[in-house]
Structure 1
Amino acid sequence: MSASVTVLLVEDDEVIRRSVGMVLERYGYHVSTAGDGLTGLELFREQRHDVLLLDVMLPGLDGIGLCRQVREWSLVPILMMSARGDALDVVSGLEAGADDYVVKPVDTSVLVARIRSLLRRASFAPSPGQAPGPGPGPADGGAGDLVFGDLTVDPQGLVVRRAGEPVALAPTELRLLLEFAANPGIVLDRQTLLRNVWDYGWDGDSRVVDLCVQRLRKKIGADRIETVRGFGYKLRR
């Protein structure tokens, strides 16, 4: 792993902050750290970071609030850390825009695997702030474009449009949509989506799938992705 990959770790427990930082540096990451949410937000605004690793419980500005503020202008991959793994913590973090979460204490190999997965997903998306090219609208469609009603997906250019207007998707949302678009009308269960979108080699928590589907629906249309109760989700043709 290249040292050019920078992780911002925001954690108020000094022991955890130091130990996790040392582990990530051994894997070749450059690590910036902060002990509270406001300092973390300031660091994020001042420096470029490739991954944001946030504790949920932080003094001042907590991890949920920090996640929301970052999401107002950045699509950087965000991994939340929760000491309890309570449903409320998990759901709140994912609804705020986090891409994934881990429960503390977390095995270092699992943490590094999740970070690598986030970076792979981020590599599928245009860099934050990069505007999509003009391209064709959904009425004519370009070669290779996938068209679903007013929704057009360009899987090569990684551009999504709804009624001709560009749709800004976070990297995980984009990979999820690409997975659906490659299998229109086919029901995909949560375990399949965890493997193909989140790169989990094991059964992860399906709540990450459900919350990401909810976020995606808000951007591409609530009726575009259908829930098949007891089985999973499918993209309407």
Structure 2
Amino acid sequence: MTDQPILAFLADTLSGPSNEPLYRRLEQALKQAFAASLIRRGAALPSERVLSTTLGISRVTVRKALDVLVADGFLDRRHGAKTVLSSRLEKSLSTMTSFSEDIRSRGMEPGGTWLSREIARPSPSEMMALGISGSERVVRLRRLRTADGMPIAIETATLPARFVPDPQEIGDSLYLYLDAAGALPVRALQRMQAKPGTPEEKRLLSAPDDAALLVMERRCFLADGQIVEFTETRYRGDVYDFVIELIR
């Protein structure tokens, strides 16, 4: 792939007036280029020398912008001085975001395939997680989640049926549906652990035989304390990282 499209995009983006530091402007311009799919995942960026010469900025400024993107997980530095768009995905555990929001923030297009959508009686574990009785109905949603078509996770979301009268009405985003219904969660409790994947899970995820799954359980609450959602998401451990920011 030629470097010309991304170089032309960066030059055009940086040409306008701004009070931001130049390295920060380059960092943001590169993120926009990633989101526009001007460079594929795993592909090498133009070299620091080419970026510096083409854009008319110092290599120190270029390196500072790239360092920020490496630290944030957007880029990887490889042997031979190559800097490539990271093929791994990261999810921050400090904010409550949807799968679609996470994937779009990395410059990729989220997708999914429905595996099942049903209304059923809750299991004992679902009753405990949602704080409901066995007489209530739940909606159970199971789907394969993808990023740019690549299988990433198997997601099973369970909600009290009073929040989702007809699960067939849910489109690509559960949170968009809940927002429209006035039931968007405002906080969540999460628990993560590693588990071996079953043969069926590995088949759905196209995961290597030795790949572990990162299992995230999340309970989501409304402002009044009602539990609106319990979701278990099984991520491919070979392509997904979880990041926590710690402040002393």
Q: Same fold (TM over 0.5)?
A: no
- Higher helix share goes to which structure? 1
Indicate the structure with greater strand content: 2
Q: Which of these two proteins has the greater Rg computed from alpha carbons?
A: 2
Higher relative contact order (CA 8 A, sep 6+): 2
